[in-house]
Structure 1
């Protein structure tokens, strides 16, 4: 496919979006060269990768693939050319990213859910120990850690001691020789400590002159007392540089040993960066996975041009390659014919590139060998070609290269010349493409092509709708009906005299007029049918809403009924239990009466007791009726207690009802929106219980969390997880300051925790411990207020 066809379809703009979504330098570079695949299996696999990435982002969030291109650094390491601290730091950052991505891809519940992303995960190598070693040694681009080696630590200790001796000596000289000095300061010239001496004391002040001021009034002299110390300092600094050089050479050697793994990681991260960029673009455009076929069949459902604003684009439904292989689209200028061509061509290219397309699920794309395009005015002044000649030159190339597995998109076919000859040529070109078996979509203004499509098997008409009342196109595509000219109607709406329009009709043959009238009648019937269909859909939607609301209320009523019956059963059981106890007591009295002299009196007492018990039972049953709640509150104010019927729970109103009647309610620690029809007045005791429960929860949280956490003996990954959760708990509990105990050790744990705290949104500030707090073995963290 020629590059100009990509440009005609604006494919390069889609690629630029993918480039923008890439994070890494290498990802952006490689994405610029993206082209459609020529193998359907590769395209299908790429689509699967992209959709796995979309699912992964939805489940676990996005990840940043940003990294600098380190190819030059790796090439330098291959030839054992010593890397500097800055280059090693870039390697370290890249290795850290590799570890994060590997951990990110490992963050899945089902091992079989993401098989293609798992392949990338298995290709990644996390050089954790080497990465930590670089982090421990390299502090910044121009600073090596004291702990890089025991020798370096010893050398720097010597250096500090010598520096202290020099400064003590010079401070003593400044104090005793203040009149000879221009200023009581210590400075450095040529790497040696000096003091500023007045010119007139040059002969009396003993030392080596290293520099003088521009005026000559001040000499920078190294006092004799510190010459030897400065010499010692230079020697120590040379040893320091030699040890640093040795350390850098050693690290470079280790990079060289791991060059193949690091390079493979860079390849993997670059590919993943592009895959996730495609996924993010798919999410942005609300795209779906297309279905591929090799039957040269296109069926796009509600397809949208991805470069048009989502709120303005009009979706189209278009199919081709089943009952017909050639589609002739007619309609007014600016009616959307060209946009339709570009949408079909661009979405086909996107799918063949492994991208989801902005269309409904179930849309099908044919995998073509070639896509040929003739869109726009390609007139060339330099070549002295007219518009017609330019189009014909392009069409000649297309006809020489087209095959039965080609998609051909032709805009304004045959335009730019005599209408009769142009229409004849257009029909002949369509005949040729039809015989070849290519899938062809052509736009035109010629009425002859409308009739051609009606007569020819395998050729179908389509039209873009135009609203004569508003004189605006609707951009809707209709297959099966040719577009009407609308010239007379538009002229009439614009105020052209009726007699002029009637006279114009005399110049058109009766056959053409009848054809236009048939098209007009078909169009009116189609619009009426479409309107009726929309009304039916709206009614169906409304019925479904009513049905759903009815089902919801039915479920609520059933639930409320079950609760009421359960309470009634409990109360009835209690009444029966009381009756059983009373009955047992009466029977006992009757048996006693049989044996007693006071028989009549005891029987009377039992009869009276039985009567009272029956009365109590009747009263209890009368009271055991369906409880009624108070009426729906007319006005709910924030802070008011309410009973939530569907949940059988009490809550507190956080807002007044909105325009739809929804009230924001807090029930315990949960917040929710509840419609006012589902609310009743709450019992005060339940409200107290809820408030007490929430208060108890927060008090328990506050009292249970410690003001410190001990991480000693843990590895960095486990420690980071514990600290992250601990900071969240401390924030919720309202702690203002906490202590993280990590120990001194190698400093790896401290550095990792520092990086984590720097990114945590609840951390206000942090510092190492002072004397008495644990010094370098702890980090003191100040928590933001809620």
Structure 2
């Protein structure tokens, strides 16, 4: 990968962010040296590691690698048998403490899960807890060796404290006694590691001892009195013993560390790599990244991609495709509209993906693996080399054309700019045609209309544009593929207040071909907006249908559960009734047997029979369905015709004959919204009953009721009618139904816009003979029907 493109696409800024997230110095070094790879298997491994670490971050939170330092120099010294300093031993201790912490972080609750790549690394960590504890016990800090490091050291230091006390006691007695008059100050001081007294120079003969130093003026001599020389010598001997014992302790600790040299080396390597992996995961988490799907076919399909260096709360996501239906994408649009950001997003995503970093885009985004990425973006003008902007760009383009191949991604910003527009457009077309013939994946931004025509007329080349809102004079930063960008110069100028006559004069300067082309682009833009709006409506309807489907499924599940519960309860009640009946039968038989043996006592038997009858009556009152009465007249199949009004005795409901009886006497009867199969023995013709003798002399009103009962259906269909037509027809129907003594009727009005349903409900609300009304439930027609109940 050429290094120039890393700077052009600001790859180093991503690496700087990554480095900040690493917790250890070796981990930061790995982050700094991260470069894109072109080996797809290596990249997939890096991406998988990042995804696994990101999953752990979301599940378990952050893990710190702070405390890991590069101890390889110390390990080399251990290899040759050297003794490590307290600082080096403490660095090893901190490494082992981090190892223990990271190992604990990796433990899983479910040990049956298959181990992944990170699990293998976590498992290989060796905390070496005894060694860490021993170092920490002996070395509380870099400047201190604990008294508990060894029994000998404890004994030596106890003797040193005692000797110090003796020296101070002897000197204090001299300071406060015989030597007080000869001292410059009444203090005990130390020179060259030995305790001394500050004696005035003129009294040097009065205090016998060894002179170790004198003041800068020569007026004070620091004399070690003869009385404490022996004690100071003994104290110095103890200090030498202490130093030797400390050396023994450090040698012992170094020896223990040397035994675990390989484990320490492995821990350092693993922790550094894990720190690097978790830094990549934290970077992904910071910008809501996802693992891209990698391919070797040059296909790029970025879904809702966001440039990682822009604020994720304000940046507009873009969709970019390249390499499948077309390998050359030409993006047009106004300045500051997001063209360059689109180029940099594709290039930077490619570099990040090939470095094992997640990209800030939706799941399922695809990236191609390229051997090289080339970019000509920004102002390449060079004063030092006496190059104009055009010359600098062309020098870069020449270099790209020499090195690029079918395994390269090429990005051009404002290709052909900086020179005569006609020649610049021709050069741009020639350069792009050359790359297109080689099958090199290329993206270019431009203002030239000639390139728009080139993209429209060349197979494998596609137009794209960055959307611009002329009303607000602001870009939307949305990238639209398949549509060339329209020049908005005239519209923007008019919005900014340029006189209309000047704009008209400018329009006259355009050729008819240019004007027609711009009009075509304008029509395409209008069509795109319309299609997008319709697509949004379709998606809204799809979502609504999906919600309704889920509601229906939930209702069906509720009904199924209710049906199972009702059947279960009914079976339990039936079982209880049967059991109770059996117990009463057994009791009755037992009583009658008793009465038979004792002789017939008719009075007692009558009392028992009355008691059983009362019990049966109380049970009958609790039954949901009473015992049906016998029909007034036994019906034959020939007595029934389609549309005859009948009463279903077992349900005590009126209905209409829907089918004629079969050989077994079964037929279907429509009872309001319920259509049920019954047997002819369970039916009674209503007409026969209502035309019997008691009704022969009824008035005209009674005759109307009879005729209505025979002709009015239990349902009215208002579909396809206007509101006025429907209400007029409904008014007549409800009068007829009420006169026919129907308990309830069903009004079919459909869902539609809801206007007809609203009109029907407003009408029902004003009718005094309507007791209540409601929308249909699941299985009754839902919101498309209304069930009306009349007052009795």
Scaled by the length of structure 2, the TM-score of the pair is 0.70
CA 325–186 in structure 1, closer or farther in 2 if over 3 Å, else same: same
Structure 2 counterpart of 1:367, from 361, 366, 369: 369
Q: How does 1:108-147 map to 2 (within 5 A)?
A: 109=110, 113-121=114-122, 124-147=125-148
CA 230–480 in structure 1, closer or farther in 2 if over 3 Å, else same: same
Partner of 1:23: 23
Kept in 2: contact 1:590–1:602 (CA 8 A)? no
Cα distance, 1:342 vs structure 2: 0.6
Cα distance, 1:535 vs structure 2: 1.9
Q: How does 1:513-662 map to 2 (within 5 A)?
A: 513-549=515-551, 551-552=553-554, 555=557, 584-596=586-598, 599-618=601-620
CA 218–383 in structure 1, closer or farther in 2 if over 3 Å, else same: closer
Kept in 1: contact 2:174–2:180 (CA 8 A)? no
Structure 2: distance between partners of 1:359 and 1:81: 53
Cα distance, 1:524 vs structure 2: 0.3
Cα distance, 1:300 vs structure 2: 1.8
Cα distance, 1:503 vs structure 2: 2.4
Cα distance, 1:523 vs structure 2: 0.8
Larger radius of gyration: 2
Kept in 1: contact 2:2–2:372 (CA 8 A)? no
Cα distance, 1:413 vs structure 2: 0.7
Structure 1: distance between partners of 2:483 and 2:197: 98
Kept in 2: contact 1:572–1:621 (CA 8 A)? no
- Partner of 1:252, secondary structure, is helix
Partner of 2:71: 70
Q: How does 1:72-111 map to 2 (within 5 A)?
A: 72-105=73-106, 107=108, 109=110
- Partner of 1:140, secondary structure, is coil
CA 592–242 in structure 1, closer or farther in 2 if over 3 Å, else same: same
Structure 2: distance between partners of 1:184 and 1:547: 99
Cα distance, 1:433 vs structure 2: 1.2
- Partner of 1:139, secondary structure, is coil
Partner of 1:491: 493
Cα distance, 1:292 vs structure 2: 2.0
Cα distance, 1:424 vs structure 2: 0.9
CA 204–574 in structure 1, closer or farther in 2 if over 3 Å, else same: farther
Kept in 2: contact 1:178–1:184 (CA 8 A)? no
Kept in 2: contact 1:325–1:440 (CA 8 A)? yes
Partner of 2:13: 13
CA 567–184 in structure 1, closer or farther in 2 if over 3 Å, else same: farther
State the Cα deviation string for residues 425-478 of structure 1 (Å, max 9, x = none): 111111111122211111100011111111222222111111111111111222
State the Cα deviation string for residues 298-354 of structure 1 (Å, max 9, x = none): 222222211121222222222222332211111111111111111111111111111
- Partner of 2:329, secondary structure, is strand
Structure 2: distance between partners of 1:553 and 1:183: 101
Structure 1: distance between partners of 2:446 and 2:364: 30
Structure 2 counterpart of 1:473, from 475, 486, 489: 475
- Partner of 1:519, secondary structure, is helix
Structure 2: distance between partners of 1:417 and 1:76: 65
Q: How does 1:379-778 map to 2 (within 5 A)?
A: 379-549=381-551, 551-552=553-554, 555=557, 584-596=586-598, 599-618=601-620
Partner of 2:658: none
Cα distance, 1:502 vs structure 2: 2.4
CA 570–150 in structure 1, closer or farther in 2 if over 3 Å, else same: farther
Structure 1: distance between partners of 2:599 and 2:210: 139
Scaled by the length of structure 1, the TM-score of the pair is 0.71
Structure 2: distance between partners of 1:598 and 1:199: 150
Mean Cα displacement is larger for which, 270-279 or 521-530? Answer: 270-279
- Partner of 2:467, secondary structure, is strand
Cα distance, 1:618 vs structure 2: 4.8
Partner of 2:324: 322
Kept in 1: contact 2:2–2:373 (CA 8 A)? no
Partner of 2:264: 262
Cα distance, 1:378 vs structure 2: 1.2
Partner of 1:152: 153
Q: CA RMSD in A?
A: 3.8
Structure 1: any 5+ residue segments left out of the alignment?
Answer: 624-786
Partner of 1:354: 356
Kept in 2: contact 1:295–1:366 (CA 8 A)? yes
- Partner of 1:440, secondary structure, is strand
Kept in 2: contact 1:582–1:613 (CA 8 A)? no
Structure 2: distance between partners of 1:620 and 1:580: 18
Kept in 1: contact 2:303–2:320 (CA 8 A)? yes
Structure 2: distance between partners of 1:194 and 1:337: 83
Structure 2: distance between partners of 1:570 and 1:220: 111
Cα distance, 1:540 vs structure 2: 2.3
Cα distance, 1:199 vs structure 2: 11
State the Cα deviation string for residues 592-645 of structure 1 (Å, max 9, x = none): 22233571232233234324433553566589xxxxxxxxxxxxxxxxxxxxxx
Cα distance, 1:188 vs structure 2: 5.7
State the Cα deviation string for residues 74-96 of structure 1 (Å, max 9, x = none): 34444544322122111111122
Structure 2: any 5+ residue segments left out of the alignment?
Answer: 626-792
Cα distance, 1:211 vs structure 2: 7.8
